[in-house]
Structure 1
């Protein structure tokens, strides 16, 4: 804050200068006025002397007039340039009083409307924190200084979670959710904090939060991961696999958490096998839902325009209905050509399954950024029945527009 107060002091000095210059000029004008008065007095004394000598007969009429003219010229010469200084002044008291009141008034107004705390906070955030505790303290100061900042509340909640303080994190995420209009990402973080604060007990409130988050964004990763964890701990292994497979499908290929999630999927499958439900990722015999088999390949003209690590999303969507995918699998360009199978086990949302729509369209999209909804190249099939058993051919051959 030192540089701030130095700058404020310099500005006050400038203000003092503007206020005190008229006082200094007034002193000069007063000196000139005093000199003019002295000259006038000397002129009047000289005229009196001339008239006295004229009365005594020492001076003639012509000499008297000549003397008066000479005295007048001397007076004009002495007072030349002083007439322009005859300006109206407020005196010394008013400028001096203003010079004292202006800085006091400015300081008082700054204390009322100023933001010295935010200036200090900005300077503090410009420096790297030395510990997680210091970062937490800074964020707590930030939400006090800016209680309507959703970013500050959100990052405070994330920091609390890092410190294993889920109860405080839930409060911070609740505030952030209110300020952001209940954004899906914030709702997911809020639900996760409540889950761990409640000792991993699933509640209707958590279900409502995750449902709301996934309704706003079917690919909201925190909600998908949390639902998978809750399902696994409640031994609902099929549900856990479904949620985690949806999560893997939307995570970037380089995301370090993919391996852990894939490991969770394998553990869930192993638990199902231990319970006599091998192959649980497929529908049970006699209750088989639709399973579309598709062979995906890349057009030869595009092979030099893509990278082996680019993501490839293969999905089925309703020909007439919601635009979001009903079932999705994720590959890489290096995996092509490849055969995949899409079924209800690959559903993005439990209420939107392949078996619920009689006619679908197959789509394959190449996305360098790992975004299932937007990419560079795409291939689409003609509408077909969701119960089709024949292997479908799908070529990625067009720009994704």
Structure 2
């Protein structure tokens, strides 16, 4: 903002110069004062001449009085003209000087009251990437203060609060965003989710009303479907959880990493129901693999750490042909990988002769990097025997 105010000051100085320079260049009014003094001297000289003529007998007393009156009128006329000139000159200087001072001050005052200095400052801040989530949250808080009509600002501030585990604060921001946008379904879902976690995972009547409203407007609103599945699972309504999560899974792209988490949730719900998942109709290679953690690493991991299981082509593209995501708490686990687990339609197990299996533990939940890993030797995609994959070394 310093350079902005420097620019304002420079412009004000240039504007004032147009008023001040002519005044500074103008001649003093000494000429008017000199003229008045000369007129007085001439008046006194005229009176002396008239008196001399009277003394010499050239003028009568009446003529002397008339002459003195005429000289006085001439002196008065000249003096009034000089006074008007001086007054005009003084007024001409006073007004430009006053304007040169007051106009910039008035302009700055009006700008501070009605202007957008805070928005200028925010735009400058957002031009630089934030260094932390806390800094980003602070910027968004200032944004909604300066722009209370910005639904996007309230939405992103709510998302930021959710990332900081502040669901109650997030719920208030989603509510304000929904009020500005006409209660869009996706906003209602986010609002309901924040309220659910703010109430310690309690499915309150308000949460139920918001999810119902969101799904009535959009039957495929993903946040509401996921939330209803979580609430059903937590209340041991496992079949409802399976139904909601299955609907959600069908809406997600094949490469979406959330699909693996949903599969795990659906499997646990079905296990609690005492049923098994119906075997999917698959064709092509079906690789069975048992994944477990080396005993030496069991004290170094946490139950919530993510475990990614990959199948990559030997001598092919680096992108995985199939991927599954579970947690350390699920280990040991046996999974079956097929073309149904492909991340991209053009990269399938059936398109390659050999693959290598690997499993990675990632505390940050990142599939591309982690703390510990295990790999299998290359094997044919036509292999039917179950493979053992042990996570046994640091990465």
Normalised to the residue count of structure 2, the TM-score between the two structures is: 0.54
Consecutive aligned runs of 4 or more in structure 1 exceeding 4 Å deviation:
28-31, 277-281, 329-336
Question: How much does 1:93 deviate?
Answer: 1.0
Partner of 1:325: none
Question: How much does 1:30 deviate?
Answer: 6.9
Partner of 2:232: 231
Partner of 1:305: none
Secondary structure in structure 1 of the residue aligned to 2:92: coil
Partner of 1:4: 4
Provide, for residues 57-90 of structure 1, a one-character-per-residue CA deviation record: whole Å limited to 9, x for no partner: xxxxxxxxxxxxxxxxxxxxxxxxxxxxxxx976
1:139 aligns with 2:158: no
Partner of 2:187: 186
Q: Is the 8 A contact 1:238 1:280 kept in 2?
A: no
Question: How much does 1:334 deviate?
Answer: 6.2
1:13 aligns with 2:13: yes
1:152-191 alignment to 2 at 5 Å?
A: 152-191=153-192
Partner of 2:241: 240
Measured in 2, the distance between the counterparts of 1:128 and 1:335 equals 36
1:221 aligns with 2:226: no
Measured in 2, the distance between the counterparts of 1:257 and 1:120 equals 38
Measured in 1, the distance between the counterparts of 2:277 and 2:102 equals 84
Measured in 1, the distance between the counterparts of 2:135 and 2:197 equals 24
Measured in 1, the distance between the counterparts of 2:216 and 2:122 equals 37
Q: Is the 8 A contact 2:225 2:245 kept in 1?
A: yes
Partner of 1:93: 94
Q: 1:111 to 1:335 in 2, by over 3 A?
A: closer
Provide, for residues 19-58 of structure 1, a one-character-per-residue CA deviation record: whole Å limited to 9, x for no partner: 2234245x15979x88xx8xxx9xxxxxxxxxxxxxxxxx
Question: How much does 1:116 deviate?
Answer: 1.5
Q: Is the 8 A contact 1:228 1:243 kept in 2?
A: yes
Question: How much does 1:254 deviate?
Answer: 2.0
Question: How much does 1:280 deviate?
Answer: 8.4
Provide, for residues 77-110 of structure 1, a one-character-per-residue CA deviation record: whole Å limited to 9, x for no partner: xxxxxxxxxxx97611111111011111111111
1:130 aligns with 2:127: no
Q: Is the 8 A contact 1:269 1:279 kept in 2?
A: yes
- How many residue pairs get aligned? The number is 240
Partner of 2:208: 207
Secondary structure in structure 2 of the residue aligned to 1:91: helix
Q: 1:330 to 1:217 in 2, by over 3 A?
A: farther
Q: 1:171 to 1:280 in 2, by over 3 A?
A: farther
1:268 aligns with 2:269: yes
Secondary structure in structure 2 of the residue aligned to 1:182: coil
Q: Is the 8 A contact 2:267 2:277 kept in 1?
A: no
Q: Is the 8 A contact 1:195 1:206 kept in 2?
A: yes
Q: Is the 8 A contact 1:249 1:330 kept in 2?
A: no
1:280-359 alignment to 2 at 5 Å?
A: none
Measured in 2, the distance between the counterparts of 1:335 and 1:112 equals 61
Structure 2 gaps of 5+ residues are 40-87, 282-319, 321-339, 349-395
1:256 aligns with 2:257: yes
Q: Is the 8 A contact 1:185 1:213 kept in 2?
A: yes
Partner of 1:324: none
Measured in 2, the distance between the counterparts of 1:19 and 1:115 equals 28
Measured in 2, the distance between the counterparts of 1:335 and 1:131 equals 37
Measured in 2, the distance between the counterparts of 1:125 and 1:158 equals 17
Partner of 2:151: 150
